[in-house]
Amino acid sequence: MKKYLLLSFLSLIFITYSHSQNLYLPLNRDIYQEYDSYLNNLDVSFHSAMKPYRMEDITNAIKVDSLDICYGTKQKHEGDSWLKRKLSYEHLFVVDSADYMLRVDPLFDIDGGQSKNGNINKSTHANTRGVMFEGNIGKTFSFSASYYENQAVFPEYISQFVRDTNNNVVPGEGRVKDFKKEGFDYGIASGYISYTPSKHFSFQFGTDKNFIGEGYRSLFLSDNAFNYPFLKITTNIWKLQYTNLYCSLLDLRPSPIAQPAEAANQFFSRKYMTSHYLSWNVSKRVNIGIFESIIFCDTLNHGAFRVDYLNPIIFYRPIEYSLGSPNNALLGASLNIKINNNNKFYSQVLLDEFVLDSVKHYSNGWWGNKQAIQAGIKSNNIFGVNKLRFQTELNWVRPYTYSHGTNLQNYGHYNQSLADPLGANFYESISFLSYRSGRWFMEAKFNYAVVGTDTAGINFGQDIWKTYNDSTIKVDGNHTTQGLKNTIMYNDFRVSYLVNRAYNINIEAAVSLRSQVTALQSTKNTWFSFGIKTSLTNHYYDF
């Protein structure tokens, strides 16, 4: 019986299409900056804020085969042995014809390192094994699925984050079980199916992450938190791209308001997010984006989904008013400008609350002035050196932004922020200098952040899981970084060598220097690591 089911499953898979155009590019920053070097050209019209990109959209905008891009397959070289091809530039297992395509690759991250926290030395390691398969079904369907099993020992500041009773998750990678004395055991599963009936419409349904923005961070929606189920509908007409995103989220923390009304067999509290993003290429240089997101949960009906939010047209405020809704609504706008072929300015403004009179009297510091701002510049080929790149950005988030009166309806998922990992009540500067030469890649990253955390039992607005219906909150006199001031510096230097370009296997050596200083204490951490890995996702340990 098992053999019959396996053969039936494979038969369904092998009704597929020969090329990988409908597949989505893995959400990895190193891969994306390779493509962005060409997509940011003045002569290219492309909507680059909504990620991950679909490969067909990229190939329609630029001739990928003619580009000097490391990631991706290349044609077979005559005379290359099977072993050389599989190690260097081919997928491990491929079935490809005029009617179908399937490929299977191993996933792994094997590395070791040493962390020093003050006078305490700690050996770190990662042992990740997994598999990924992806392909196309016909000319309009595609699919992808992956699974990772992990055991890891982290530097102490990450371990403290994981062991916090309010977290119990590895940043961006899900819930943990204890592994031996100091390690953690956790699994990650993701996948999607995609349907593209025409050049105007595309549908994606799966469990994974999304990202909206041009920067390293996003104040709208980032890939900081764990995977979540979603349905994404993308519409391309004229110079417009309009995206509908419907998501199911989980809150792992105790919620006294929601839990009594949850279904008896549901352990965690479920909530939902509906987001819209409209991108308009005004000219060959200027792009404008409009963002809207609603976080909602029906605590009176066992967490039922509200069909009112299936409305595919942007602007939910009229619906919110007609329902008398207490849900968490966020609005935002972005402005992105291609200065020339090699330089791009990007920005985001997010409004969690907006009362015009309070904005006019901004200096009063009303607690409900919950806004966030991002501004940055990306530069390619600086000083005329091919693939020498620089990026810098500033993020500023007011206290209490992303939080809500009902803490279940905050802008978070799986005990992490859906935007910046620092939560709220902070400002930060992040800069990168990187260079790629052939298969070699080098990058230096410099983070500087000032964060105001709670102290003396007062909610100062950094923890987005705390309700703002709190008697300790001042009505006026609030300012960014209020509370216990934390100065965090995180510098990261890494060198890597690309082993297999088909699914981004890299040998990498890195050193990270982190310090955190408050009026109460000072900590420093140095972390050396070396390993070999398939780099298809982003890991945010710079907090």
Residues 69, 30: contact at Cβ < 8 Å? no
Write the DSSP symbol of residue 24.
B
Mean pLDDT of 323-351: 90
pLDDT mean over 6-16: 36
Angstrom CA distances, 404 to 219, 257, 453, 454, stand at 16, 13, 17, 17
pLDDT (mean) for 64-76: 74
Alpha helices in 108-203 (DSSP H): 156-163
Q: What pLDDT shows up at residue 292? A: 94
Would you say 289 and 280 are in contact if contact means Cβ atoms under 8 Å apart? yes
Look at 358 and 226; give whichever has higher pLDDT: 226
pTM of the complete model: 0.92
Averaged confidence pLDDT in the chain: 88
- Comparing CA positions, the residue from 462, 210, 211 lying closest to residue 334 is 211
Question: What's residue 318's pLDDT?
Answer: 59
Q: What are 408-463's pLDDT values in tens digits?
A: 889 999 999 999 999 999 999 999 999 999 999 999 999 999 999 999 899 999 99
Q: How far is CA 319 from CA 276, 425, 473, in A?
A: 14, 30, 30
> What 8-state DSSP symbol labels residue 458?
B
For the cut 50, the answer to whether the pLDDT of residue 335 exceeds it is yes
Tell me if 207 is assigned to some domain: yes
Per the structure, the count of domains in the chain is 1
Task: Flag whether 131 is in a domain.
Answer: yes
Domain CATH for 499: 2.40.160.130
Q: What is the dihedral of CA 415, 292, 537, 6, to 10 degrees?
A: 90
Reported confidence tier of residue 155, pLDDT bands at 50, 70, 90 = very high
- pLDDT for residue 118: 81
Q: Which candidate, 158, 292, 174, places its Cα nearest to that of 224? A: 174
Cα–Cα distance for residue pair 267/258, rounded to 1 Å? 11
pLDDT reading at 256 higher than 60: no
pLDDT surpassing 60 at residue 480 = yes
Lowest-confidence segment of 131-145, 307-321, 376-390, 400-414 by average pLDDT = 307-321
DSSP letters, 72-136, are: S--PPPTT--HHHHHHHTS-SEEEE-SSEEEEEEEEEEEEEEEEEETTEEEEEEEEEEEEEEEEE
Is residue 92 one of the residues assigned to a domain? yes
Give the CA distances from residue 401 to residues 139, 334, 451, 487, in Å, rounded to whole numbers and listed in that order.
44, 18, 13, 20
**Burial category of 484 from C-beta neighbours within 10 Å (exposed 0-12, middle 13-18, buried 19 and up):** middle
Length of the chain: 543
Residue 541 lies in a domain: no
Residue 451 lies in a domain: yes
Instruction: Indicate the pLDDT class of residue 522, thresholds 50, 70 and 90.
Output: very high
If one compares 12 and 512, the residue with the highest pLDDT of the two is 512
Q: Do the domain assignments include residue 208?
A: yes
* Inside any domain, residue 41: yes
Handedness of CA 313, 195, 148, 125 (dihedral sign): negative
State the pLDDT at residue 39.
93
Q: What is the chain's alpha carbon radius of gyration, rounded to the nearest angstrom? A: 23
Average pLDDT over residues 274-293: 96
Q: Which domain holds residue 148?
A: 2-534
User: Which pLDDT value is given to residue 319?
Assistant: 62
Q: Of 19, 21, 10, 15, whose CA–CA distance to 96 is shortest? A: 19
For residue 466, what are its two tokens?
Answer: 């705390």
Do the domain assignments include residue 539? no
pLDDT higher for 378 or 253? 378
In the predicted model, is pLDDT for residue 12 greater than 50? no
Q: And the tokens for 353?
A: 């609350």
